[in-house]
Amino acid sequence: MDQIDFFKALKFFHIVFITTWMAGLFYLPRLFVYHAKEKRKTKQYETFAVMEKKLLMYIMNPSMILTWIFGFLLITHLQLYSALWINLKLVCVVLMSIFHMYCARIRKNFEIGSEIKDEKFYRWINEIPTVLFLIIIFLVVFKPFV
């Protein structure tokens, strides 16, 4: 495999795993909105808990890890260590990862029945990944500060 094919493969997998991670980050807080409306110990409440757990464990967690791995491989391959735009992107990805972990904590609290925030709160936090995603895409496409 030559250098160009290797780069394209890294880029392909990075984009695939970003896409699946972001899909989960957009969907999980939306599930929290509906979950917060349900009464505890009902069948629907338990169904949301199962959906959230499976989304996080089987799609979001592996996608986040693989996004990071392929992202670092791309940075290494392209030797972008000192570019300001990539460092700003990394800051945003770290913030996205922190949001991911915060959502994991919320999910766990729903599972044990101790989550007390209302649906309005989840509607607001649902916008966090959107804002970070837009900033990240802007930085990647326009590469400001080069």
Q: To which residue do tokens 């989960």 refer?
A: 24
Identify the pLDDT of residue 16: 98
Quick one: pLDDT band at residue 4, thresholds 50, 70, 90?
confident
Q: Say whether pTM exceeds 0.85.
A: yes
Quick one: pLDDT band at residue 61, thresholds 50, 70, 90?
very high
Q: What is the mean pLDDT of residues 56-78?
A: 97
Q: What is the mean pLDDT of residues 118-125?
A: 96
CB 35 within 8 A of CB 49: yes
Q: Which long-range contacts (CB under 8 A, 24 or more apart) does 89-96 make?
A: 89/136, 89/139, 89/140, 92/132, 92/135, 92/136, 92/139, 93/67, 93/68, 93/136, 95/132, 96/25, 96/129, 96/132, 96/133, 96/136
From CA 40, how far away is CA 111, in angstroms rounded?
10
Query: Considering its fold, how many domains does the chain have in total?
Result: 1
| Sequence-separated (6 or more) residues with CB below 8 Å from residue 121 | 36
Can you give the length of the chain in residues? 146
Torsion sign (Cα): 94, 97, 101, 107: positive
CB 115 within 8 A of CB 33: no
Range of the domain at 128: 3-142
Share of the chain above pLDDT 90, in %: 94
Identify the pLDDT of residue 2: 87
